[in-house]
């Protein structure tokens, strides 16, 4: 009898250990290529945690997950695993526009369904997806008796790094509209920072933390958590943007959080090739997208910054019928698709804008008729001043007004520290408003270029009429910044930081390096770098920012701008080092030409551009715009050379570049 009892005990122990082992196996996940591995665990207090490895090495140590609620018990501890589900997905999809003609969406998924062991027995699901280029996870809130509508006070989402690492970020506080220089500092020394946060690890991995599909939720920021003891680990925790009333998120109909994302790349250049964020957004919801057209454009805009014209009516008013038609003529003669006109509507003096009443000297019917005849689009402008209530009361009427005249692109603006004088742009209030605008614009067949936005999170996959956004310290700072303008290193950091979030309306291609209004403020690049930026900084609506007189004075360099597409079939990054240099190569969707932009930061260098991305069975004519030997962004910025040579995929171009200089190359197949 004793022997039988011992066997029963041993069998029970073995069964228990086997069940624990099975559950541990079930809560593990690997990427399709096997390099990334994730494990989910509940600690002894029933707290959800996850960890992440790359090739067996720790990227993230066990990191907490959970929610602090307002006026309700928290969803942090006391959980048990109710169910575990595994799934996988592999497809190729075609974006309406983008940096590739086709995108591979291949991931493995783990869904952990949690339930409280005691108390209210509430349920919380956490979904993880691993791609070859990184990770995404989100919370899902099943509707249930004790979790209907609720308020989130904090999201205890953590990223625990084994050791301190260098990272690039911008602060939340003291920065308007994300328009700041990214700073490099240890993770532990960051304050409350916006995402993306880009990280270089001691294992030569490059990481970027951000979010995808920001819908009916507050934007995620990050803060380092003060560590106790002698641990070398550094913890970053989510710090959501609050409402003016203090809470972070009001959960009602939308029962999921945005995806918390981390790109994992083995080189700095590979960061730029990740499409993880787009893959974590929903497919396109629009049946007809034929009216969505990527283009390069010019505008009645830089003249305002140079004080040559005014937004408001008067003797120097920029948005006149005659001036707009002059710009249309220039655009038509130079293969430019559109003309942006700011300052066209009434009440620029009071900022109580009307979106249907043009100034008397702006004949929109005559202008749009003339533009259609010339094949040039009028790009409209809605500046709100951050007065969301005023805008929403006129929005449908304003879009209908533009639709009547065949205007399919509108630049929106929110120059105001707080929306409606009280809410942050990246709060749930702001997120909801921006979505209303995108959806309303789509109903009227209008594309949006959103300035002073919430940072992009890949929504252009679902709503491809959201074509580009600002949310970046753009080239306009080179017109009026009291500090002198953007430093040389700025544009060799942006592709690896803000650029990872999505298309940005940086407005490159300024050709005049003298500022009569603020002589100590100017563009801190060479002319060749301005050309290269047209390729490096991606936007499907890409603005050539300068006044047309300055392009007329530089016709040969301007030919690169007039030939450069804004919609691509493939993108490559031959060389890159964050903050020092980057070379980006993109292939068009038509003739099979490649365009290369290569830029430097504070120091000159010799770029070594391997052309192995070219088709192996073709010869190409390379038209190269490069810094002349005497070029220097401070003393001789406009000095540029153009040359042509025959090349093939086996060639490597070795080209000297000045401080804050660059190279722009067009490579087109030669006929046999």
* Length of the chain measured in residues: 672
Q: Alpha helices of 174-291 — where are they, by DSSP H?
A: 268-271, 276-279
**3-state DSSP assignment of residue 187:** helix
* Listed residue (256, 178, 94) closest to 469, CA to CA: 178
Encoded tokens for 153: 């006070």
Q: Are strands 166-169 and 197-200 parallel, antiparallel or unpaired?
A: antiparallel
Rounded CA separation 212/205 (Å): 21
Rounded CA separation 300/317 (Å): 10
Q: Are strands 568-577 and 581-588 parallel, antiparallel or unpaired?
A: antiparallel
Rounded CA separation 469/537 (Å): 12
Q: Alpha helices of 459-613 — where are they, by DSSP H?
A: 477-480, 527-536, 548-552, 555-563
Per the annotation, the verdict on 646 as an active-site residue is no
Rounded CA separation 232/162 (Å): 7
* Catalytic entry in 116, 346, 423, 476: 476
CB-based contacts of 604, cutoff 8 Å, min separation 6: 656, 657, 658, 659, 661
DSSP lists the bridge partners of residue 28 as: 39
Report CA 17 to chain centroid distance, whole Å: 47
Rounded CA separation 589/294 (Å): 12
* Listed residue (85, 123, 253, 239) closest to 171, CA to CA: 239
Inter-residue contact 620 to 648 (CB < 8 Å):
yes
CB-based contacts of 611, cutoff 8 Å, min separation 6: 620, 647, 648, 649, 650, 651, 652, 653, 667
**3-state DSSP assignment of residue 440:** helix
* Listed residue (542, 564, 562) closest to 475, CA to CA: 542
What beta strand segments (E) does 314-373 contain? 338-341
**3-state DSSP assignment of residue 545:** coil
Positions annotated as catalytic residues are 476
């Amino acid at each position: 009898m004793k022997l039988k009892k011992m066997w029963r005990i041993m069998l029970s122990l073995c069964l228990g250990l086997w069940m624990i082992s099975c559950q541990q196996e079930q809560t593990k996940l690997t990427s399709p290529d096997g390099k990334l591995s994730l494990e989910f665990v509940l600690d002894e207090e029933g707290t959800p945690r996850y960890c992440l490895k790359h090739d067996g090495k720790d990227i993230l140590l066990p990191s907490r997950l959970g929610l602090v609620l307002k006026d309700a018990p928290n969803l942090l501890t006391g959980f048990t695993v109710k169910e575990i589900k595994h799934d996988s997905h592999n497809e190729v999809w075609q974006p309406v526009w983008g940096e590739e003609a086709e995108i591979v969406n291949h991931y493995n998924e783990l869904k952990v369904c949690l339930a409280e062991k005691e108390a209210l027995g509430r349920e919380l699901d956490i979904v993880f997806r691993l791609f070859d280029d990184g990770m995404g996870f989100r919370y899902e809130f099943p509707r249930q008796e004790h979790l209907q509508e609720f308020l989130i006070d904090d999201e205890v989402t953590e990223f625990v790094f084994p050791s301190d690492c260098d990272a690039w970020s911008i602060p939340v506080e003291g920065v308007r509209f994300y328009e700041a220089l990214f700073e490099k500092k240890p993770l532990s020394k960051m304050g409350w920072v916006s995402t993306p946060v880009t990280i270089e690890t001691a294992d030569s991995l490059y990481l970027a933390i951000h979010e995808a599909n920001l819908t009916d939720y507050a934007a995620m920021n990050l803060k380092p958590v003060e560590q106790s003891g002698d641990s070398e680990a550094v913890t970053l925790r989510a710090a959501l943007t609050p409402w003016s009333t203090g809470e972070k998120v009001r959960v009602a109909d939308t029962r999921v959080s945005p995806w918390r994302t981390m790109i994992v790349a083995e080189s700095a250049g590979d960061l730029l090739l990740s499409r993880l964020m787009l893959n974590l957004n929903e497919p396109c919801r629009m049946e007809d997208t034929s009216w969505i057209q990527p283009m390069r454009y010019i505008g009645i805009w830089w003249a305002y910054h140079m004080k040559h014209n005014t937004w408001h009516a008067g003797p120097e008013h920029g948005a006149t019928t005659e001036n707009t038609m002059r710009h249309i003529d220039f655009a038509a003669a130079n293969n430019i698709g559109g003309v942006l006109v700011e300052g066209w509507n009434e009440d620029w003096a009071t900022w109580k804008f009307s979106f249907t009443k043009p100034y008397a000297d702006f004949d929109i019917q005559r202008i749009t008729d003339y533009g259609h005849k010339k094949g040039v689009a009028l790009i409209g402008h809605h500046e709100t001043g951050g007065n969301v209530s005023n805008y929403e009361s006129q929005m449908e009427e304003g879009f209908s007004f533009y639709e009547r005249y065949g205007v399919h692109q509108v630049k929106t603006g929110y120059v105001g520290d707080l929306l409606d004088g009280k809410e942050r742009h990246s709060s749930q209030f702001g997120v909801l408003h921006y979505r209303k605008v995108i959806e309303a614009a789509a109903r009227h067949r209008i594309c949006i270029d959103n300035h002073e936005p919430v940072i992009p999170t890949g929504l252009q996959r679902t709503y491809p009429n959201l074509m580009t956004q600002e949310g970046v310290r753009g080239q306009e700072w080179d017109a009026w910044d009291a500090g002198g303008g953007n430093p040389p290193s700025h544009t060799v950091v942006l592709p690896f930081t803000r650029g990872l979030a999505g298309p940005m309306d940086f407005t490159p291609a300024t050709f005049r390096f003298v500022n009569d209004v603020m002589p100590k403020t100017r563009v801190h690049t060479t002319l060749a770098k301005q050309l290269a930026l047209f390729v490096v900084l991606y936007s499907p609506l890409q603005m050539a920012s300068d006044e047309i007189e300055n392009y007329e004075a530089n016709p040969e360099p301007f030919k690169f701008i007039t030939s450069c597409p804004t919609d691509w079939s493939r993108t490559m990054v031959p060389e890159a080092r964050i903050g020092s240099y980057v070379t980006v190569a993109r292939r068009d969707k038509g003739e099979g030409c490649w365009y290369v932009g290569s830029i430097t930061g504070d120091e000159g260098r010799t770029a070594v551009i391997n052309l192995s991305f070219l088709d192996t069975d073709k010869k190409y004519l390379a038209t190269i715009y490069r810094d002349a030997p005497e070029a220097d962004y401070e003393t001789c910025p406009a000095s540029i050379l153009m040359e042509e040579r025959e090349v093939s995929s086996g060639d490597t171009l070795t080209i000297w570049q000045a401080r804050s200089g660059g190279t722009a190359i067009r490579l087109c197949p030669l006929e046999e």
